[in-house]
Structure 1
């Protein structure tokens, strides 16, 4: 029988201990014997209810439970939504482990590996960097790449900046909140990129850089997937990894519904 601590030790094993991290057991007892595990982008109330329904008593989530990157000291602890969700967690006794920084520091990045696998791009030439992966695919248009990404990730829509008829082959992948100018703009030039595919970032940074680049007749484009859609594949891949390490423990990935609607 494996305890919560056994699982956590295995998850953090590939990385040297981090002096500062948001990762940690947010709820639950580390000595609890694990009856089932759910991995998810975030422990939303819907994910919590589904996990309890299938008998899981450990959720491994990439993002924080209560709407903030830093869960400690959030100012809305008396908010009724917060309190109802917290009550469900405490009454159920379920353990929730935040697994963010360590997973991103896997070699290669654990989230990125899941995204590449889900996109079906692992057989192409790939250069892994600390915050991005550079992928060389057969030349295609931005429009066709966008269609491919939507189909492979089961995304209802993506947002695109640039000429969608532009041919591209050299792509920079940046999962999560790495689509800002600090990372993306230098990457365009350093890696000679045609296209950046990112989760999200400030709209006044990389999108505006691409707008000006296109106006100058430079071949640049940007596809924004949304934060959750860019990182969920990594948590799906993590579920498979945990199954291999703990074959006697039921493990499943639960995808949250897309939070935004197009109206």
Structure 2
């Protein structure tokens, strides 16, 4: 679990609500159904218009990474690669067949199978690079769905504000209608800006960071597998791969 995401979300909520309280406001003043509908509905509609279905579905799939990110153990990956290289030196590349069959990581399994099949290093690089670059692009595009929402949200908030003011101007003769219209106007703006800067844009940036870290892990696996294919010394492989560590 990503504790920083939880702390950040709670701190953002406390900062907004706490600041509102210290200024003499109350929570009810920030709760407005029409404003929420305008901002959330409008932002979601704009993102649906922009994103292809497969990209939007991927965005929903990776959204839980904010609090439950995939485990990316770079040091563990290096240790596995070194153990594979030691096995290859003792038993030959065919000795890795049992390892490939039991490997749970699909990317690593494909690389090991290529080694077992005797593929040339350039062929291995070509095949595995396509895999990890495609996956990286797919996840980055999915993260950009939240980034685009963060761009639309403040503008939709302004639309809500203008709609509220139009309502106000149309009811100047009826003072009882003014309060609701003004509330929608200002609260919609708050929702739009707050959702963008406290939720959507941070989510997008964190998802991008996770996607890039996954790509670094896969690139490290690729370099390790190529080194095994070229018969490099396990110690040399370990020293090379240490460069991928944070």
TM-score range (shorter-chain normalised) is: under 0.3
- The structure carrying a bigger strand percent of its residues is 1
Taking structure 2 as the reference length, the TM-score comes to: 0.21
**Based on CA coordinates, which of the two structures has the bigger radius of gyration?**
2
- The structure carrying a bigger helix percent of its residues is 2
